[in-house]
Chain A
């Protein structure tokens, strides 16, 4: 079976013809796609579809509103540590991008939020009670991705995002409505969990026609814009100045001193 694929790839994604042209999803990149915005091209790459200008404004906001150049954040801190250690910008930011695929935030949580909302919407359409579904989800998974937040309960990205969505006339999508209903249920119950950015952006993406996997691909660069400033800040300061750790900041909680020889 592998023999058939030796040395050759059959694909519809694209190719470049050196010195001549490049094809991107069946389009000439330098002709038919030459005026496309980068984010639109990025979306086109994995969906093969284009989106309305209103939808693109919201997609743009989903990335902008979560681009925080705060070096304390774990992924950004990796980019900045690379700068402080005089590693390259590419290595620091690539590592920070990898770190962004976390479980309590980032793309692990984003994918779970999307999967839940799309599944919940389908089940509610089939007649299932949303409150029951939320209760079952909490019981089985001890939480609902997209609701609650590691550091604080209120997510500052929600209000401006909802305002923009209303302005663009995109606030009536079924997944967005459902995501807000879930928040109401969670706030009314003993769980006291608010919606976070993962849920609202997953809901909007679903309303714009993205599957969970497509939403995952869309999310990958969402923190990117916040990373170069963190790297730049660190690399322009004297080496090693970022959050230096003195020995006394290590709180040892392990086995006391012992002898290797005695052990052997």
Chain B
């Protein structure tokens, strides 16, 4: 009854299909859950086709195939074909590992619209170190294949204290590979990245310098390549409207069918996440307690509740509130108005502590099946 009286729930815009958590890379900043290796029982081809049909009927139009590495699923071409038939705009979010010429040709033929290729750095050394693989040359080859098959190419590079000083060289690499967009994505501290936060967190000076370099390139290169650079929110005094609002545009489905209102909802306590194997997607989206938990602003506490900016940032990120303030319904501690802002400032101050060059005080924990099992 509440739902009938309340404002209508909008359609999801973006369906993120996380086809598998398995991945040939072992990136230290991966946002996948630490215990990903215990998630087995992946949805079958038929179950994914059903998810795509239901999501399209709900109004979703953008579709991301992600993971893990989605190319590890040998039914990817079949799912892409169904997505195209349904009218989705399909995006493949990949490390490039496994994107051979026969496969890219088959994906093109099946109707894939766009490929987003991740790099870890502009140098082989750091790319291969951060992903704990030897993949740098392979990624450059894949970038050429993407152009050869006339795909718009979005290059994505996750930034942190090790590669922020290389941001100019990373942009040069994107220009050389003729990427149309370059996402310079500052690390979001969830999952494996949170585990490695002490090593990955940049200094304020690094962030400001990188920002200036990006601004300088933007002015010089015009519309040759669109540079997306978002300042990591730890360094801002207002949080971001996470997911553009809970249950507003984003619908994620994990490899085992768990439906996610945000990428990291698995790590939030007390959320009874519905599974597409057990509930129709429309019911999950509109009626499930998990998708309504932080929808709108009824759930907000002070200082959000009475804040005149609450419609702009929607209280920020629920996962960050849980990790830093211990309460998923608290104001995101990134906000200067949060009584817990001190926790964020402490992390920033710690990042700027003096240390000998090239030393790593604590080893980085790479994302691997063995580490996942021992840490979970």
A, B in one complex: no
Residues of B within 8 A of A (CB): none
